[in-house]
């Protein structure tokens, strides 16, 4: 038993990876759902146990195949990625709970098995990116998740053919991003001769002036910027989120961009040295301004959207602005705020997309007029949308408030209170677009032709798990803030305590 | 922790949750809405002095129940006002309004008992967000826009409070909601935040903008809490801050003139509310025990008579569909009881002896006199005459008397009448037995309102002002009630800034010809401008081909490379 | 300095890599035909492969292969095998991407009847207009 | 005249006629003004009989409050009339999305 425990880091990735082909072989919708669900749950269990064992700020190093680093590939678990491992596998599990019913309406029966296979692969990729300590391995897992994501997005074609074009755009953009990233990795390898993150960190110390190292950072920022939809490289995102099946949108919005952001953070702090002058410059003159523009411009765009899914996609880009802002303060507080934001925004957006998906389950369209008056007909679902919306805006008592609060604190701590003001001002914009939906939900008469729709408990349960967690993390901050604090401190001081 | 000492706000929130989830029956909801304030009233009455309910939040200790005599008196009147308001709103079927009322009153009461700035901030925003639903509940486009403006201003007040609290926490490490000096950045921010909610001059316009836009019952509820909460907060933190005396004096003055020429009676009352707040702010500024007693008691009495006035005008609006002075008149024939209540409210606000205003306002006046502020005292006396002019005379006279408008509405519904009667009774009761009120004030009261000289001087002031009114009416100099609106400071953000924005946008030339001509038609609509920049067809949101996307990446990458390499 | 012989010839592999990369990107940007876009993407990716392989080359080094008898002669210079191995993985990824892209193009062609980016955009714009109209109505 | 009166009676609330019925009397206005003038006069007289103690000297001047009240009230009316000259606008000044013009439509 002890043996198994020691292999948890690799099992974290291996279980969903191995289950994927099994899924194809099974070929039946229900069975493959069961397998996928099993994979997701076991990932979650493993992630939680990993988080538990690193919660004191220590870290676990796992040597693949017994080859010690820097020769072999190393998996490293510390509180930063263990936290996100829990988020990704947790969201995946909750999404799967409701996926079955939703998928039946959105995807042809014969594609279900393959859908779940891709879902598992996507999960594998995301978990792998998080857990690996090898820079090239990051690229491989990133591409595993991206390639399966393109397929998942394209599955929306049954409802709207534009999903295909969105997936194709995403493919082009994603590949360009990944290739940029791989060029950056090549440059680092040229400069340091190693691929292990922590080994690079040691060796890169005197290379601040090296142009190779500098250029590699530029490539990596742009590559990851593309994947995490940093404004103005977000253009693939609204389409992909709008036309993808709701299950996919829910899962991706809560995880994919977060994982890419994690990679950026990891590279900035554990591969490069964040106090390199050029890194500070990049954040000061590129990332921060773009993040602020995103916060406002994208919120304004969201206000004018008629399609709620698209509105939420734009809102995600604005929210990514907050997270990037937190990172670009290059302070421990800012980093904590970003980690909390990653988590809280993940569950908030998942709640929103999921409840929206259920609200528009039968109409299939997610325009404002499609949810009109549903507040009375589907009170439970609308209420969970409301909670998600409140959390997105950052109303006290919700998870969203905690992340905004920390971010505001961090900006004041960093000595730029004007940013705090901007953050708060842009949050006001969120009120406007969320209000538009709430208004249609609650204050308008429903279309008469919409008969009262029954929603099974299989859907309600995961939805309310998410809604309640939106509220719960608004009160109990010991896990989110506590872990983020440790994670941020570890990254900031680059303390990797191996046990 | 004793069960009775749980935060009173929880009671309201619980009721709101129950209403939201369970209560489908209208009557049950109305009953609940009336019962909850009574339960809270009993609870608050029985609260012991002290700090009762601590909660840990982020390594901060929140004091949710700081009970002292100041918070208790505000807690009591808030519960009372909630009860009266809900009784008045018995007939309302709209569940949104009912929940909003519960959350709003709960937050206001919670804020009163909040012992630290963080929980104050929570409740502060709670009042802002819940109350806007009372405006939106009217469900017209106009009320939606007004509500938006209201929400924006209220939320900004909370945001500034948050900023002040953050700065304070950062510099001193304390989140205590206590007396502070107006000397540091943090206290200044907090002061501004309170000032916005308290409708300081030039920050006041949300009040006059929004209260006439709410529903009939919503305005009654609104009038009781938000501003008085701000008064409480100021009294708690900035008592004795001298600048408040002058701010308060200006607050008592300028609304008088606006109220005099305003046509919408509910807006007249909003101006009058602003003027009354001025008295309280002066009291806070003076800051002596007498003055603070005056502020607390005046807030107490004010909530009652202002609700009463809003109730009677609301009843008229409910029955006739308008609250414009120019459309009303002669309603005493069919709404005599409402007229009577309105007269009692008018007498109370004008501070006629034997009515509540008389026994509370004089505390503040006396405090300014004993502390030797002769000019301020004169201003307050002047303002008292002003109160008489718009709330004492204008409201009842142009609604119920004056020329006959020909309207013959039915008397107000029975629930409204009962609420008005109880409130009227309380107004008179406090006026006749001021000691009941004086006993619950924060400090010991050694003040006798009913001295001969005080009664005589007040009667002289009021009677001669009335005489002046009759003379002016006879001479025909009184500004006629006409259908018009008056500009106020909101003009800046409703008219001026949008036009400036438009000019800038035009100058930039980022708008193409066809939309520009369309734009000119909607010169006032800032929304249109935003639409042109951020709307679905604008550059920011267009669906690009992936070639363009890649081009963007190339641009950003070049930027990044330049930054990194040089 | 820029025109120094050494600067150009010494970094020849980088210049070629950059040229190839730009060519690929330019195709992605400028061509409307989706298949051509995929081809451009391939060229772009290939340039990176070339880059990796070239940095693994040690001047005068031979292929990093164990001799049959497993007796390694320390005097023989080997090229660095690691980048080459990495690129094997990257090539697999590239092929998968290409395959997926082409598969998507097939589906796009079925759905839209064209594989020209501009035409697809027009069709989508029409659709969007219809949607907005139905919203207004 | 009689007919008109009758009509009024029909539409008037019975409580109303008890409370405010006297207002319909022909001389009601004169009675009110008369009462008011008399009470003002009496109040003014009291000042000369009774010496008031105030915080300020000016309070002790007989008739100070009376004069102040009268003049200030007039000043308010005057000030308000002047103010109206500057700030008066049409009801739909802020466009159709303002509450005031909204009410106009309600009326229709």
Please give the average per-residue pLDDT across B343-368, as a whole number.
Answer: 91
Q: Is A484 helix (H, G, I), strand (E, B) or coil?
A: helix
Distance from C-alpha of B452 to C-alpha of B27, rounded to nearest angstrom: 50
CA A341 to chain centre: 10
Going by C-alpha positions, the residue among B280, B157, B278, B258 that lies closest to residue B212 is B258
* C35 is a domain residue: yes
Q: Helix B497-508 vs helix B513-521: angle between axes, to the nearest 10 degrees?
A: 170
Q: What pLDDT does residue C93 have?
A: 92
Please give the average per-residue pLDDT across B120-138, as a whole number.
Answer: 88
Inter-chain residue contact C100 with A150, CB threshold 8 Å = yes
Q: What pLDDT does residue B191 have?
A: 92
Inter-chain residue contact A165 with C108, CB threshold 8 Å = yes
* A199 is a domain residue: no
Best residue of B117, B155, B564, B565 to probe chain A, by most A CBs closer than 10 Å: B564
Nearest to A168 among C34, C48, C135 (CB): C34
Kindly list the distances between the CA atom of residue A94 and the CA atoms of A347, A356, A467, B66, B78, in Å, as whole numbers in the listed order: 10, 15, 11, 41, 44
Confidence of residue A181 (pLDDT cuts 50, 70, 90): very high
How big is the A-C interface in CB pairs under 8 Å? 79
Establish whether this prediction's ipTM goes over 0.85.
no
Q: What pLDDT does residue D106 have?
A: 44
Q: What pLDDT does residue B523 have?
A: 42
Query: Which secondary structure element, helix H or strand E, spans residue B67, and what is its range?
Result: strand B66-67
Neighbours of A194 (CB within 10 A): 21
Q: Which domain holds residue B65?
A: 1-233
Distance from C-alpha of A159 to C-alpha of A107, rounded to nearest angstrom: 8
Is B136:B146 a contact under the CB 8 Å cutoff?
no
Q: Are strands B485-486 and D88-89 parallel, antiparallel or unpaired?
A: antiparallel
3-state helix, strand, coil split of chain B in percent (to 5) is 75, 5, 25
Is D81:B261 a contact under the CB 8 Å cutoff?
yes
Is A359:A312 a contact under the CB 8 Å cutoff?
no
Distance from C-alpha of A52 to C-alpha of A86, rounded to nearest angstrom: 10
* B445 is a domain residue: yes
Residue B109 has pLDDT above 70, yes or no: yes
Q: What pLDDT does residue B276 have?
A: 93
Q: What pLDDT does residue A42 have?
A: 94
C-alpha torsion sign, points B556, B561, B563, C1: negative
Tokens 């409480």 correspond to B232
Distance from C-alpha of B64 to C-alpha of B114, rounded to nearest angstrom: 5
Q: What pLDDT does residue B499 have?
A: 76
Which value, to the nearest 10 degrees, does the dihedral of the CA atoms of residues D27, D30, D32, D35 take? Answer: -120
Name the least confident of A228-232, B62-66, C72-76.
Answer: C72-76
- For residue C58, the 8-state DSSP code is P
In sequence order, which residues have a C-beta less than 8 Å from that of residue A491 and are 6 or more positions away? A80, A265, A266, A269, A270, A335
Percent of chain B past pLDDT 90, that is, above it, reads 29
Q: Is B354 helix (H, G, I), strand (E, B) or coil?
A: coil
Q: How many domains does chain B have?
A: 3
Inter-chain residue contact A222 with B557, CB threshold 8 Å = yes
Q: Which domain holds residue C83?
A: 5-63+74-136
pLDDT in tens, A146-167: 999 999 999 988 888 889 999 9
Is B19:B102 a contact under the CB 8 Å cutoff?
yes
Q: Please tell me which residue, B142 or A330, carries the higher pLDDT value.
A: A330
Chains B vs C: touching, with 3+ CB pairs under 8 Å? yes
Residue B559 has pLDDT above 90, yes or no: no
CATH number of the structural domain spanning residue C81: 1.10.287.3510
Inter-chain residue contact C28 with A367, CB threshold 8 Å = no
Give chain B's largest Cα–Cα span: 89
Distance from C-alpha of A146 to C-alpha of A166, rounded to nearest angstrom: 14
Residue A350 has pLDDT above 90, yes or no: yes
Chain B nearest CA to D56, separation (Å): 8
Last residue of one domain, picked from the residues B451, B481, B511: B481
Residue B212 has pLDDT above 80, yes or no: yes
Q: What pLDDT does residue B509 have?
A: 46
- Give the residues across from C116 on adjacent strands: C33
Average pLDDT of every residue of chain D: 75
Average pLDDT of every residue of chain B: 85
Q: How many domains does chain A have?
A: 1
Confidence of residue D15 (pLDDT cuts 50, 70, 90): confident
Alpha helices in A155-210 (DSSP H): 162-192, 197-203
Residues B90 and B224 reside in one and the same domain:
yes
* B393 is a domain residue: yes
Q: What pLDDT does residue D103 have?
A: 52
Residue D96 has pLDDT above 70, yes or no: no
Is B251:B378 a contact under the CB 8 Å cutoff?
no
Confidence of residue A320 (pLDDT cuts 50, 70, 90): very high
Nearest to B463 among D15, D32, D43 (CB): D43
Residue A123 has pLDDT above 90, yes or no: yes
Q: What pLDDT does residue D5 have?
A: 52
Q: What pLDDT does residue A126 have?
A: 95
Please give the average per-residue pLDDT across A382-396, as a whole number.
Answer: 89
Percent of chain B past pLDDT 70, that is, above it, reads 91
pLDDT in tens, D44-83: 888 877 777 777 777 777 888 888 888 888 888 888 888 8
* B486 is a domain residue: no
Distance from C-alpha of A438 to C-alpha of A372, rounded to nearest angstrom: 9
* C112 is a domain residue: yes
Inter-chain residue contact C118 with B545, CB threshold 8 Å = yes
Q: How many domains does chain C have?
A: 1
Nearest to B547 among C30, C124, C128 (CB): C30
Q: Please tell me which residue, C75 or B302, carries the higher pLDDT value.
A: B302
Going by C-alpha positions, the residue among A162, B290, A145, A404 that lies closest to residue C107 is A162
Q: Which domain holds residue A442?
A: 286-499
Please give the average per-residue pLDDT across B220-228, as a whole number.
Answer: 91
Distance from C-alpha of D33 to C-alpha of D12, rounded to nearest angstrom: 25
Q: What pLDDT does residue B428 have?
A: 93
Q: What pLDDT does residue A4 have?
A: 78
* B454 is a domain residue: yes
Residues B147 and B178 reside in one and the same domain:
yes
Q: Does B1 touch chain A (CB under 8 A)?
A: no
Distance from C-alpha of D77 to C-alpha of D48, rounded to nearest angstrom: 29
Alpha helices in B321-443 (DSSP H): 336-349, 356-370, 374-387, 395-400, 414-432, 434-439
Please give the average per-residue pLDDT across A23-43, as a whole number.
Answer: 89
Query: Which secondary structure element, helix H or strand E, spans residue D88, and what is its range?
Result: strand D88-89
* A167 is a domain residue: no
Residues B447 and B500 reside in one and the same domain:
no
Q: What pLDDT does residue B520 have?
A: 47
Last residue of one domain, picked from the residues B206, B233, B260: B233
pLDDT in tens, B72-95: 999 999 999 999 999 999 888 888
Distance from C-alpha of A188 to C-alpha of A217, rounded to nearest angstrom: 8
Q: Please tell me which residue, A221 or B55, carries the higher pLDDT value.
A: A221
* C12 is a domain residue: yes
Neighbours of C8 (CB within 10 A): 12
Last residue of one domain, picked from the residues B233, B254, B279: B233
Q: What are residue C77's phi and psi, to 5 degrees?
A: -90, 130
Best residue of C28, C29, C36 to probe chain B, by most B CBs closer than 10 Å: C29
Q: Is B165 helix (H, G, I), strand (E, B) or coil?
A: helix
Which structure tokens are listed for A401? Answer: 């408030």
Interface of C with A in 74-103 (CB under 8 A): 82-83, 86, 89-90, 93, 96-97, 100-101
pLDDT in tens, B497-541: 777 766 765 655 444 444 444 444 444 455 566 666 666 665 565
Tokens 């992909």 correspond to A240
Residue A30 has pLDDT above 80, yes or no: yes
Give B497-502 contacts, CB < 8 A, sequence gap 24+. B497/B526, B498/B523, B498/B524, B498/B525, B498/B526, B498/B529, B499/B523, B499/B524, B501/B526, B501/B529, B502/B526, B502/B529
Average pLDDT of every residue of chain C: 84
Which chain A residues have a beta carbon less than 8 Å from that of C25?
176
Which chain C residues have a beta carbon less than 8 Å from that of A307?
131
Q: Is B387 helix (H, G, I), strand (E, B) or coil?
A: helix
pLDDT in tens, B293-317: 999 999 999 999 999 999 999 999 9
Inter-chain residue contact B381 with D87, CB threshold 8 Å = no
Peptide bond between residue A232 and the one before it cis (omega within 30 degrees of 0) = yes
């Amino acid at each position: 038993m002890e043996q198994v425990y020691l292999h948890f880091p690799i099992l974290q990735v291996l279980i969903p990876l191995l289950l994927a082909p099994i899924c194809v072989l099974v070929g039946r919708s229900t069975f493959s759902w069961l397998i996928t669900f099993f994979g997701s749950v076991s990932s979650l269990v493993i992630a939680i146990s990993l988080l538990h064992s690193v919660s004191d700020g220590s870290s676990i190093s796992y040597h693949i195949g017994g080859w010690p680093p820097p020769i072999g590939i190393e998996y490293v678990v510390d509180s930063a990625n263990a936290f996100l491992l829990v988020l990704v596998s947790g969201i995946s599990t909750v999404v799967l709970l409701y996926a079955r019913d939703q998928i039946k309406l959105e995807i042809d029966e014969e594609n279900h098995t393959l859908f779940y296979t891709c879902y598992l692969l996507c999960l594998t990729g995301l978990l792998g990116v998080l857990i690996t300590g090898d820079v090239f391995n990051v690229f491989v897992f990133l591409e595993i998740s991206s390639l399966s994501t393109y397929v998942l997005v394209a599955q929306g074609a049954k409802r709207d053919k534009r999903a295909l074009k969105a997936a194709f755009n995403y493919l082009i953009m994603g590949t360009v991003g990944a290739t940029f990233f791989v060029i950056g990795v090549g440059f680092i390898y040229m400069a340091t001769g190693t691929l292990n993150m922590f080994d690079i960190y040691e060796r890169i110390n005197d290379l601040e002036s090296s142009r190779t190292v500098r250029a590699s950072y530029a490539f990596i920022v742009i590559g990851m910027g593309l994947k995490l939809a940093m404004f103005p490289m977000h253009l693939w995102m609204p389409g992909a989120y709008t036309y993808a099946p709701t299950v996919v949108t829910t899962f991706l919005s809560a995880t994919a961009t977060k994982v890419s952001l994690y990679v950026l953070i990891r590279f900035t702090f554990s591969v490069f040295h964040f106090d390199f002058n050029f890194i500070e410059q990049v954040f000061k003159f590129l990332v921060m301004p773009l993040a602020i523009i995103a916060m406002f411009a994208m919120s304004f765009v969201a206000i004018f959207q008629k399609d709620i899914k698209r509105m939420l996609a734009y809102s995600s880009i604005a929210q990514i602005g907050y997270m990037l802002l937190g990172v670009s303060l290059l302070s421990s507080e800012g980093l904590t705020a970003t980690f909390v934001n990653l988590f809280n925004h993940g569950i908030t957006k998942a709640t929103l997309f999921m409840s929206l998906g259920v609200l528009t389950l039968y109409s299939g369209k997610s325009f404002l007029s499609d949810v009109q008056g549903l507040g009375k007909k589907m009170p439970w679902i609308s209420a969970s949308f409301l909670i998600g919306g409140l959390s997105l805006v950052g109303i006290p008592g919700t998870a969203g408030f905690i992340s905004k609060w920390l971010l505001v604190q961090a900006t004041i701590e960093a000595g730029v209170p004007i940013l705090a003001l901007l953050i708060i001002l842009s949050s006001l914009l969120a009120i406007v677009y969320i209000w538009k939906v709430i208004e249609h939900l609650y204050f308008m008469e429903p279309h008469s032709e919409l008969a009262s729709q029954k929603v099974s408990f299989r859907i309600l349960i995961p939805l309310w798990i998410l809604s309640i967690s939106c509220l719960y993390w608004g009160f109990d901050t010991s896990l989110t803030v506590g872990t983020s604090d440790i994670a941020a401190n570890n990254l900031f001081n680059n303390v990797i305590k191996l046990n | 922790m004793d069960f009775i000492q749980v935060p009173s706000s929880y009671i309201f929130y619980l009721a709101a949750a129950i209403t939201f989830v369970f209560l489908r029956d209208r009557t049950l909801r109305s009953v609940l809405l009336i019962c909850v304030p009574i339960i809270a009233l009993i609870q608050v009455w029985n609260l012991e002095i002290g700090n009762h309910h601590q909660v840990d939040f982020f390594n901060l200790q929140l004091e949710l129940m700081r009970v002292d005599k100041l918070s208790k008196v505000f807690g009591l009147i808030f519960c009372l006002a909630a009860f009266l308001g809900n009784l008045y709103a018995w007939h309302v079927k709209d569940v949104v309004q009912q929940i909003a009322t519960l959350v709003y009153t709960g937050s206001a009461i919670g804020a009163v008992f909040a012992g630290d700035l963080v929980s104050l901030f929570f409740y502060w925003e709670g009042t802002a967000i819940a109350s806007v639903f009372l405006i939106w509940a009217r469900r017209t486009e106009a009320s939606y826009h007004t509500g938006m403006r209201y929400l924006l201003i209220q939320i900004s007040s909370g945001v500034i409070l948050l900023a002040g609290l953050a700065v304070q926490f950062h510099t001193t490490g304390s989140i205590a909601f206590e007396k502070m000096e107006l000397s540091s950045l943090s206290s200044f921010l907090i002061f501004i935040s309170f000032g916005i909610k308290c409708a300081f001059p030039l920050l006041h316009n949300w009040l006059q903008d929004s209260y006439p836009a709410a529903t009939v019952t919503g305005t009654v509820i609104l009038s009781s809490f938000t501003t008085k909460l701000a008064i409480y907060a100021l009294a708690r933190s900035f008592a004795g801050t001298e600048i408040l005396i002058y701010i308060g004096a200006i607050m008592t003055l300028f609304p008088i003139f606006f109220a005099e020429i305003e046509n919408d009676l509910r807006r007249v009352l909003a101006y009058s509310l602003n003027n009354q707040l001025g008295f309280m702010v002066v009291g806070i500024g003076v800051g002596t025990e007498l003055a603070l007693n005056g502020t607390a008691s005046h807030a107490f009495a004010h909530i009652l008579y202002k609700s009463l006035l809003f109730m009677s005008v609301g009843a008229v609006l409910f029955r006739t569909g308008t609250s414009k002075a120019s459309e009303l008149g002669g309603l005493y024939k069919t709404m005599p009881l409402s007229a009577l209540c309105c007269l009692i409210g008018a007498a109370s606000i004008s501070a006629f002896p034997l009515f509540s205003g008389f026994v509370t306002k004089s505390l503040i006046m006396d405090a300014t006199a004993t502390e030797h502020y002769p000019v301020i005292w004169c201003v307050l006396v002047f303002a008292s005459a002003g109160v008489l002019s718009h709330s004492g005379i204008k409201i009842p006279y142009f609604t119920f008397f004056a020329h006959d408008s020909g309207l013959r509405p039915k008397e107000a519904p029975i629930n409204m009448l009962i609420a008005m009667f109880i409130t009227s009774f309380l107004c008179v009761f406090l006026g006749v037995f001021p000691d009941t009120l004086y006993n619950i004030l924060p400090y010991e009261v050694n003040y006798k309102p009913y001295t001969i000289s005080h009664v005589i001087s007040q009667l002289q002031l009021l009677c001669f002002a009335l005489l002046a009114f009759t003379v002016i009416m006879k001479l025909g100099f009184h500004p006629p009630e006409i259908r018009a609106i008056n500009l106020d400071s909101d003009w800046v953000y409703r008219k001026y800034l949008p036009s400036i924005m438009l000019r800038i946008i035009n100058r930039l030339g980022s708008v193409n010809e066809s939309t520009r001509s369309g734009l000119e038609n909607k010169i006032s609509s800032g929304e249109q401008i935003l639409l042109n920049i951020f709307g679905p067809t604008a550059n920011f949101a267009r669906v690009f081909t992936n070639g363009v996307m890649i081009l963007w990446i190339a641009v950003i990458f070049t930027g990044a490379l330049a930054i990194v390499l040089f | 300095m820029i025109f120094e012989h050494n600067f150009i010839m010494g970094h020849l592999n980088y210049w070629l890599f950059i040229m190839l990369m730009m060519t690929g990107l330019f195709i992605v940007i400028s061509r409307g035909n989706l298949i051509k876009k995929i081809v451009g993407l391939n060229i772009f990716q290939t340039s990176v492969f070339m880059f990796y392989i070239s940095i693994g080359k040690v001047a005068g080094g031979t292929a990093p292969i164990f001799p049959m008898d497993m007796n390694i002669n320390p005097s023989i210079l080997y090229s660095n095998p690691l980048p080459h191995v990495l690129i094997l993985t990257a090539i697999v990824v590239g092929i998968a991407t290409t395959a997926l892209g082409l598969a998507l193009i097939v589906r796009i062609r079925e759905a839209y009847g064209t594989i020209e980016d501009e035409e697809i955009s027009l069709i989508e714009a029409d659709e969007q207009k219809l949607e907005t109209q139905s919203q207004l109505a | 005249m009689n007919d008109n009166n009758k009509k009024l009676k029909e539409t008037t609330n019975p409580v109303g006629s008890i409370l405010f019925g006297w207002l319909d009397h022909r001389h009601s206005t004169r009675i009110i003004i008369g009462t008011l003038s008399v009470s003002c006069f009496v109040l003014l007289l009291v000042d000369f009989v009774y010496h008031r103690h105030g915080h300020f000297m000016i309070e002790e001047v007989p008739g100070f409050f009376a004069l102040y009240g009268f003049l200030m009230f007039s000043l308010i009316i005057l000030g308000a009339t002047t103010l109206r000259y500057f700030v008066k606008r049409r009801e739909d000044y802020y466009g159709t999305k303002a509450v005031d013009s909204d009410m106009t439509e309600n009326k229709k």
